[in-house]
Amino acid sequence: MRRRNFLKGIGASSLVVGVTAGQVEPVRAKTEYRWRMITTWPRNFPGLGTGANQLASLIGEMSGGRMEVEVYGADELVPAFGVLDAVSHGTAEMGHGSAQYWKGRSQAAQFFSSVPFGMTAQEVNGWIYHGGGLELWSELYGKFGLVPAPAGNSGVQMGGWFNKEIETVEDLKGLKMRIPGLGGEVLARAGGIPVDLPGGDLFAALEEGRIDAAEWVGPYNDLAFGLYKVAKYYYYPGWHEPGTVMEAIVNKRAYESLPVDLQSILMNACKVVNQDMLAEYTARNPAAMQTLMQKHGVELRRFPVEVIDRLSSLADEVTAEVARKDELTSRVHASYKKFLAQSKEWSALSDLTYLQARAEV
């Protein structure tokens, strides 16, 4: 009898606990770390800015509230191109941007953003996560007291917005174009004039005639900025940025102050955003392109073969020269180039032949 009553008691207790547990709201832990994230993007800008927001939200949710990250857009705490130095100096614990903006601080950094005629998003993720790229990136940023992580990718971009048609290589000479990083160096070698401007300044610069052309990202973001209102021709392909990595940069001291579980949460949140941003661009670009062409009458143009061939040749020259800047840049370039060669061979057998076959159906 005692045993029977005891078992009945356990069952009743379990039922009460189960019901109670189902009714109780999850309890958030007390916030232990309050961080700031500064970005190179306008606040809440589609894709890029919202990707930074998503990263901050994920860190808060995955940590159960133990860690909170407040996001600041470009120029709210520091200028858009001041993010790396500000995080390095501890002005903010985190930043979100693109490594091509820091070429003045490190030529090698550009290889962790996008390389003209280089790897696509899928290929560059392979290099960073499984081909030695992240180790080299960490070594490079360690010199600035930073920890890097991929935190987004735009995929293959568009070639940019132009106020004149590009029919020959000669048309590039004297062309003032907003184009950063290695792509800008290639344009300069072709006789153009690269201009570094943050995204928020592009519309006014085109409208006022301070630049003749500008590349930004692709249809989704270009539509949001209204660039179709101030430039007539939209060119493709995006030879200069075939798979642009967006980065999270973390102050190393701040990172090392976190317990191991929060370090893991932070890095895994970056992986989620890295995947999701590319998925968002893949989903949003087609509809945005239709809107640009059908509603706004944008004139789509393809760069002539002659122009692409010349830019490709110059890209090889530029990256080879940059690689000779110092020993670490040389190692980064060698690693990138080796992985690219392997990827090109496989992509030609897999993705390229499949896409060609699909186009013929």
Q: d(Cα 307, Cα 266) in Å, to the nearest integer?
A: 43
CA distances (Å), origin 361, targets 251, 279, 325, 352, 356: 51, 25, 48, 15, 9
Confirm if 351 and 242 have CB atoms less than 8 A apart: no
* 248 bridge partner residues: 96, 149
Q: d(Cα 164, Cα 179) in Å, to the nearest integer?
A: 16
Question: What b-and-e string marks burial along 268-301, b requiring 16 or more CB atoms within 10 Å of the CB?
Answer: ebbeebbeebbebbeebbeebbeebeeeeebeeb
Strand 146-153 versus strand 213-214 pairing type: unpaired
Q: d(Cα 61, Cα 80) in Å, to the nearest integer?
A: 27
325 phi and psi angles, rounded to 5 deg: -65, -40
Q: What per-residue confidence (pLDDT) applies to 340? A: 98
Q: Which residues contact 304 (CB under 8 A, 6 or more apart)?
A: 166, 167, 168
173 phi and psi angles, rounded to 5 deg: -70, 125
* 301 bridge partner residues: 235
In the chain the first and final C-alpha atoms are separated, in Å, by: 77
Spacing of C-alpha 44 from chain mean position:
15
CA dihedral 307, 313, 317, 320 (to 10 degrees): 130
- Give pLDDT tens digits along the chain (361 positions): 444 443 344 344 333 334 344 444 556 679 999 999 999 999 999 999 999 999 999 999 999 999 999 999 999 999 999 999 999 999 999 999 999 999 999 999 999 999 999 999 999 999 999 999 999 999 999 999 999 999 999 999 999 999 999 999 999 999 999 999 999 999 999 999 999 999 999 999 999 999 999 999 999 999 999 999 999 999 999 999 999 999 999 999 999 999 999 999 999 999 999 999 999 999 999 999 999 999 999 999 999 999 999 999 999 999 999 999 999 999 999 999 999 999 999 999 999 999 999 999 8
Q: How many CB atoms lie within 10 A of CB 326?
A: 13
Q: How many CB atoms lie within 10 A of CB 260?
A: 7
Domains of the chain (ranges, CATH numbers): 33-153+243-282 (3.40.190.170)
